[in-house]
Amino acid sequence: MVGPQEIGLIFLFVSDLKRSVEFYVEKLGFQLEYEGEDFVRIRANIGTPIMLHKSHGRDIKSAGFELELKVDDVDVWYKRLTNQGAEFRRPPSEVEHEGDPSGPRREATLHDPDGYRLALFTPLRKLAT
Q: Residue 85 belongs to a domain with what CATH number?
A: 3.30.720.110
66-70 and 117-123 beta bridge pairing = parallel
1 within some domain: no
Query: pTM here?
Result: 0.83
Domain assignment of residue 119, yes or no: yes
- pLDDT above 60 for 128: no
The answer to whether residues 88 and 129 belong to one domain is: yes
Domain hosting residue 101, numbered range = 63-129
- Measure the N-to-C terminal CA separation of the chain; round to a whole number of Å: 27
What gap in Å lies between CA 102 and CA 37, rounded to an integer?
A: 37
Region 36-62: mean pLDDT is 89
Task: Report the number of distinct structural domains present in the chain.
Answer: 2
The CATH number given to whatever domain includes residue 49 is 3.10.180.10
**Residues 77 and 123 both lie in one domain:** yes
The pLDDT score that the predictor gives to residue 102 is 74
Q: Which tens digit of pLDDT belongs to each residue from 9-45?
A: 899 999 999 999 999 999 999 999 999 999 999 999 8
What's the helix, strand, coil split of the chain in %, to 5?
15, 35, 45
What's residue 14's pLDDT?
95
